[in-house]
Structure 1
Amino acid sequence: MKLVWSPETASKAYIDTVKYCELYQESGVAELISAMAAGWNAKLIVETWAQGGDATTSVGLSIAAGHTSGRHVCIVPDERSRSEYASAMSSSAGASPEILVGEPEEVMAELEGIDFLVVDGRCWDFARFLRALKLSHRGAVLVYKNATAAACRWRGVVEGGKYRVVRTAFLPVGQGLDIAHVAASGGSGSSKPTKRKWVKHIDQRSGEEHVIRTN
């Protein structure tokens, strides 16, 4: 099996997130990530958050999880962050995420079958998450948020041959999104060429249009 893109579900999550985030005069990253998670029909969505962070991405992921009937988990570093995050999400448009507190290696040990991961680069060392990942047999989409420039962040994913990076992209949305589509090595992914699809995102504050190529 492999991740299969659904443009209809992506559009629904995108529109719902736009409607909600407009209430807070926010736009951009949340809508795009929500559409990606929903479009890939993510069943286990995991993200990170720390005190003082923006909760709009979490709102978008909660909306996406509602469209995919998926599980949405947020990892926070301490109890203070847990309290602030729970308060910020108490009036969200989607279901409240599960909140797990602890270090990446410890928390990730409890999570198996991740198919969509978002890590905030301002607060977390992404390499620690990569070493502890237990991804879905369908593959996964990994998103490094607030990435200042494109970088080779994915070497840790493929070490040992457990996973392979299908493609990567750096998007100048927000403070930068570094994205990788990962497949399980030796999985049932077909070697046949697949038709590429395109996702269009318009930043409603700047008017810039971004086009993402997917498989």
Structure 2
Amino acid sequence: MEDVNPVAVDAFRKCGTYLFCRSFVKLDGKCDVILSNMVETFNNYIMNARSHHLIDMLEDIRTMLMKRMASKKEEASKKWKGLLYPKVQKALDSKKQEAAKCTVIPSTSTRFQVAYCMDVLEVEIENRTCTCKKWDLRGIPCCHAVASIFYLHKEVESYVDQCYTREAYLRAYEGYINPCIGERHWPEIDKPIDPPPIKIGPGRPRKNRIKDPHEDPKKQESSQDTGFK
């Protein structure tokens, strides 16, 4: 790409490749998500509350989050059967099936050469790394690592990063939001407290957020048509 257009490469690097390119993402986060799906999910979660007045909107969001934190904690403590998050356990089970296609050759007690689908990779169990970088990036053993762990006759679940465990999930939801009493139980004061004036603009109220031109392909095409680069 640099041979074709070096200016484009410089512009590409200035955009912050660590934010959207997996090859530049830091490995200590144990997450390969480079999109704003989490933000979009929460935005859709509070969609109805956003159409209310400011005070009512904040109260609805507070109530929803209070209920969600309590339900998530109860779900993890009572319904989870394994030590890992259910979706992570499901992904790990699929890796176990793929591991049957791998051929493991030991180099040391912790380093292995793994052949898989006409490819050869190196796995280091002690450092929890693989040539494919999936284990490094996500913290979940790839099929090459799973095959190496099976070669040692050890449990694969014990090599999953601690952030995916049931204990870590419960620690994330160990906090809570205090209940809020109704207006009739509020203390009376002498000073008047009026809510901010409500200003209704023309047209139908907007519910979806304004997207960046890079997020909307139609806007991006229109910007390219006008000569914008």
Whether the TM-score (by the shorter chain) exceeds 0.5 is: no
TM-score, L = length of structure 2: 0.19
Q: Choose between structure 1 and 2: higher strand proportion.
A: 1
Q: Choose between structure 1 and 2: higher helix proportion.
A: 2
